[in-house]
């Protein structure tokens, strides 16, 4: 059975800011500030590497940054193209308890090319994982999903955020991800995609379009095709990347067992590890 996982999409330099108190206008606010590698699919790839999965990551960085970002993904076969003009994408993440605000510059990620996920990579793959933000580079994305499906590769999609879906356009988003087999929406994203409120109703509606629906509900756990898996309760230091880590735990198990409930249990365990340190990747 093929078990390699290919992740495609954004790689980011995160500037994570954890203020000691409310941000004060026009003066200093003491804060803990850390520079961390990020980008949702890159985070998932890094967690997969840490879990011992066989994983490739395909993305774009600024000139001179490929070696640095490859080194930040131990265990991952990183296929990073350097853009001659655009810098590596950057996000300032301001953490307030369990909430985050993100100031985003996509940089070189705006030059992502789905054709760089080659047929050779898909030949060995079990899963192709991407996030909604890849739709911002939608030229060729439909062809990539078609090539993956033709190669017998499951396509998993983490939508990104409800705000992103709304900005992109709900009908356009649904058309763009049609054909994916695994969907990882948050409850807010699921409600937006279906127009429904109750988690079970949201999950059931999405299950009419996707083989496996993994609805993440924060502290309320995860609903997998209508069945709930409880979250692991830990002290949260930084929620950044918890969803990316969950996807990694899920996909690493699913690639071997094809058991969605077992995969969700693995996912919540990895997500709990992720929130106990600053940044979206495995702690150094």
Cα 248 to Cα 32, 74, 137, 162, 273, distances in angstroms: 27, 14, 23, 21, 12
- Name the region of 225 (left: φ>0; alpha: ψ -120 to 50; beta: rest): left
Q: Residue 220: which region, alpha, beta or left (left: phi > 0; alpha: psi -120 to 50)?
A: alpha
Q: Is 244 a catalytic residue?
A: yes
The encoded tokens of residue 210 equal 């996707």
H-only helix segments in 72-153: 119-123, 141-150
- Selected catalytic residue, list 14, 65, 238, 244: 244
Cα separation of 52 and 181, whole Å?
Answer: 24
What are phi and psi for residue 12, nearest 5 degrees? -135, 150
Residues across the chain:
284
User: Can you spell out the DSSP letters for 255-277?
Assistant: HHH--HHHHHHHHHHHHHHHTTS
What is the set of active-site residues? 244
């Amino acid at each position: 059975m093929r078990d390699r996982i290919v992740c495609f999409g954004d790689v980011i330099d995160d500037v994570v800011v954890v203020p000691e108190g409310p941000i004060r206008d026009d003066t200093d606010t003491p804060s803990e500030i850390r520079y961390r590698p990020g980008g949702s699919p890159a985070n998932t790839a890094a967690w997969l590497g840490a879990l011992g999965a066989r994983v490739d990551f395909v993305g774009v960085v600024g000139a001179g940054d490929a070696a640095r970002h490859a080194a930040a993904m131990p265990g991952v076969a990183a296929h990073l193209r350097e853009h001659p003009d655009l810098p590596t994408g950057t996000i300032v993440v301001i953490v307030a308890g369990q909430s985050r605000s993100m100031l985003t510059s996509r940089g070189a990620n705006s030059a992502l090319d789905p054709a760089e996920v080659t047929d050779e990579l898909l030949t060995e793959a079990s899963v192709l994982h991407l996030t909604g933000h890849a739709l911002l580079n939608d030229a060729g994305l439909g062809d990539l999903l078609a090539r993956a499906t033709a190669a017998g590769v499951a396509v998993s999609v983490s939508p990104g955020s409800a705000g992103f879906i709304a900005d992109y356009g709900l009908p356009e988003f649904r058309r763009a991800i049609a054909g994916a087999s695994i969907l990882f929406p948050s409850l807010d994203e699921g409600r937006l995609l279906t127009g429904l409120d109750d988690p079970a109703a949201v999950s059931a509606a999405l299950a009419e379009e996707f083989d496996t629906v993994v609805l993440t509900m924060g502290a309320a756990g995860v609903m997998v095709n209508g069945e709930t898996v409880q979250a692991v309760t830990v002290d949260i230091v930084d929620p950044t990347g918890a969803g990316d880590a969950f996807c990694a735990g899920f996909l690493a198990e699913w690639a071997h067992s094809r058991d969605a409930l077992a995969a969700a249990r693995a996912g919540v365990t990895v997500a709990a590890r992720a929130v106990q340190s600053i940044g979206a990747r495995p702690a150094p």
